[in-house]
Structure 1
Amino acid sequence: MARQQSGWFEPSRPIRVEGGIRVRNRRGSIGEQWWSRRFVDILERVCDSGRLSRGRSYARSGQVLDLEIGPGLVKARVQGSRRTPYRVTVGITAYGREQWHDLVGALAGQALHRAKLLAGEMPPEIEDVFRGCGLPLFPEQRGLEMDCSCPDWGFPCKHLSAVLYVLAEAFDDDPFLVLAWRGMARDALLDALRRNDDGAVDGGEVDGGGKPGLLDVADVPFAERIDDFYEPGASPARLSPPPGPSDGSEAPPDLLLRALDPPPVKARHIPLLDLLRPAYRSFTE
């Protein structure tokens, strides 16, 4: 019975939905990559463990209907026990043009970080780059502004918790969503990094210290280059990889391929860069 003689009510069950967002991990922790685990670790330090547990259950059963990530704001709908889904928002500070101007300049100044970002990877050292600019990559303990339309007095409620776990797994699939949440969309960032080592944001040049880009070579007419045509356009010193990081890791052998714009060339429907990468990697073996 839903109500007993003592007047105690059993907890209501959420209305089951079809087509909701289900997290893949059915047991244990949610989040597989370092950046999503970093986000989940922050949540589990500041949120009530009981509501987080119920939130995981909601996230695994597909109660989150949709998820929209924009600069500084995540919006979602969560189906609870009432017919009308609850509306959830999670906000953080989105960095402005001047702040991203500094961030892009700092990222472009690190050849290895730049190459990894252009390859779709999120280097762990990116947190240090943000910290060096005085800007946190992930929200601090009190850096989240959360709201849910449900009547639950607890904070965060299970609906908010479910959205936070779904958000963490979305970060798993696309690390650039972390940066988009902070105000810089993936395409805008990669375009700025591709233009040159100094980068640009919204048409404004980023000051990279006046150093020439790794791939910057003067465009000289062929008639003026006949005598030295086969000499390298850049000095060997500029093409040498920088000293490796303190953790002992080395620059990837396909660093130049990652830094170059991918050419619109395919062989048997395979992109040219995908064919060249194994050859570059074999050079180091």
Structure 2
Amino acid sequence: MSRSGWFEPSVPIRVEGGIRVRSKRGSIGERWWSRRFIDILEGVCDPGRLGRGRSYARSGQVLDTELGPGLVTARVQGSRRTPYLVEIRITSYRADQWRELTDALAAQALYRARLLAGEMPPEIEDAFRACRLPLFPGTGDLDMTCSCPDRGSPCKHLSAVLYVLAERFDDDPFLVLAWRGIARDALLDALREAGGTATGSGSGERGPGLFDVDDAPFADRLASFYEPSVSAARLRDRTGLPAPPPDLLLRTLDPPQVKARHIPILDLLRPAYRTFADSDDS
């Protein structure tokens, strides 16, 4: 019985054509960003409701979802004939905040290259953290409502949507960023425009980057082919360059095909490497 005194049958109305998560057992979410999202939720939400939410997500009780800046809406079929309406809100960053973030991402050649290739580098969290704008929600960052009578938060309907959302993140990591307020095309256009160059001091203009060299036909470079395109002075000047990431070794090796609790082993090792680096700095 809910706190409102209304009894809800334990078996939801089965539906055809609902959204079923691919995972049949164990954890939901395969990529590091979706697992990061799920781990946060499972750390702050009631385990019982999350378990019932997984069952709903696996049986296709979520009818549809729609994601926009700062808001996810969905319909979930419960035991009542009318589906429940779910809303999940998160802070959507302003245009000026996204300019700061895209500048920070473009300044890191690795981040920029992998994002332009359609990938989500694990280190992207560091760029967001440096701008004091978290990528993933923390405790209390999600405003969640459901039209069901269950006063618990999240209820099983909300939990089901959260798990479906994690698998949508699996398929398209740019949805994580779109939820924070920037569409994929807008982000990639901003990164292409930034070009990975450094920002001029105080002028707001972009100066030449370390790896910006003039492209010339090979025939015109025969006499100077073996000369470096970048002067030794510029190579010695490492001011403004990022420090080597603590998990650089993990990036250079071929990833082992090993999983723990259905999570790729590299996704578990990276946080440990960062923790070791932080302890060395302290």
Partner of 1:173: 171
Shift of the alpha carbon at 1:46?
Answer: 1.4
Match of 1:235 among 230, 234, 241: 230
Partner of 1:129: 127
Pair 31,209 (structure 1): closer, same or farther in 2 beyond 3 Å: farther
Shift of the alpha carbon at 1:100?
Answer: 0.5
Which whole-Å deviations, capped at 9, do the CAs of 1:225-262 have from their partners, x for residues lacking one?
A: 996688679537789x987533233877xxxxxxxxxx
Partner of 1:248: 248
Partner of 2:196: 197
| Secondary structure at the counterpart of residue 249 of structure 2 | coil
Q: Which consecutive unaligned segments of at least 5 residues does structure 1 have? A: 1-8, 200-206, 253-285
Pair 230,14 (structure 1): closer, same or farther in 2 beyond 3 Å: farther
| Secondary structure at the counterpart of residue 86 of structure 2 | strand
Which whole-Å deviations, capped at 9, do the CAs of 1:73-129 have from their partners, x for residues lacking one?
A: 001110111111111010000001110010000000000111111111111111111
Identical aligned residues as a percent: 69
Match of 1:210 among 185, 206, 211: 206
1:197–1:214 CA contact under 8 A, matched in 2? no
| Secondary structure at the counterpart of residue 249 of structure 1 | helix
2:9–2:79 CA contact under 8 A, matched in 1? no
Q: For this pair of structures, how many residues does the alignment match?
A: 237
Q: Which consecutive unaligned segments of at least 5 residues does structure 2 have? A: 1-6, 236-240, 253-282
Which whole-Å deviations, capped at 9, do the CAs of 1:48-78 have from their partners, x for residues lacking one?
A: 1111110000000000011111100001110
| Secondary structure at the counterpart of residue 90 of structure 1 | strand
Q: Tell me, yes or no, if structure 1 residue 94 matches structure 2 residue 85.
A: no
Shift of the alpha carbon at 1:166?
Answer: 0.4
Matched residues in 1 for 2:89 and 2:223: separation? 55
Q: Name which of structure 1's ranges 242-251 and 135-144 shifts more when overlaid on structure 2.
A: 242-251
Give 2:132's aligned amino acid: G
2:8–2:79 CA contact under 8 A, matched in 1? no
Q: Normalized against structure 2, the TM-score is what?
A: 0.74
| Root-mean-square deviation over aligned CA pairs | 3.3
Residues 123-162 of structure 1: pairs in structure 2 closer than 5 A: 123-162=121-160
| Secondary structure at the counterpart of residue 77 of structure 1 | strand
Matched residues in 2 for 1:66 and 1:236: separation? 57
1:89–1:148 CA contact under 8 A, matched in 2? yes
Matched residues in 2 for 1:79 and 1:189: separation? 35
| Secondary structure at the counterpart of residue 65 of structure 1 | strand
Shift of the alpha carbon at 1:10?
Answer: 7.9
Give 2:104's aligned amino acid: A
Matched residues in 1 for 2:14 and 2:40: separation? 29
Pair 112,227 (structure 1): closer, same or farther in 2 beyond 3 Å: closer
Partner of 1:69: 67
Pair 51,242 (structure 1): closer, same or farther in 2 beyond 3 Å: closer
Matched residues in 1 for 2:96 and 2:186: separation? 15
Shift of the alpha carbon at 1:198?
Answer: 4.7
Matched residues in 2 for 1:124 and 1:49: separation? 27
Give 1:249's aligned amino acid: L
